[in-house]
Amino acid sequence: MDTFFTDAWVKALPEKWNRDPEMTTPLGQANFNSIIAFGLLDDLDPRVIVKVQEGRIKSAEMYRGGAYEPDWDLRASPETWAKWQTSGLGLTGLGVAVSSGALQFRKGDYRRLIRTPALAGPFLKFFSLL
């Protein structure tokens, strides 16, 4: 878990996300504004908070307390995050990950996400940005 949810990871994520038109274009067209938390299954609190406005990351920071209420809170084990970093995650893999509990949506509507193409494509693309 040395490369995930660290200060360096948080600083690099906005640049990767915001320069990728597969992320910004559909999310911008969908007027996607959200606060997204990422973390580990066994942790009470998330590790990272990301603020997205009009499909672009406006800020990303380490979680330091309850200042933000996330709209989405995604959790997985360190091993699972690492696997997705190298192999990505497709739609079938996403379904398996959610149904098996490998990926937990502590907040957010998973079904709405996968049924909305403007959200599903960028969500899956996110795993290649890890």
Average pLDDT, rounded, for the chain: 90
Paired strand residues for 19: none
The reported pLDDT for the residue numbered 69 is: 87
pTM summary value: 0.90
What pLDDT was estimated at residue 2?
56
Counting residues of the chain whose pLDDT is more than 70, the rounded percentage is: 98
Q: Is 28 helix (H, G, I), strand (E, B) or coil?
A: helix
CB atoms within 10 A of CB 65: 6
Indicate the pLDDT class of residue 70, thresholds 50, 70 and 90.
very high
Contacts of 22 (CB under 8 A, 6+ apart): 121, 122, 125
On whether the CB atoms of residues 47 and 60 are closer than 8 A, the answer is: no
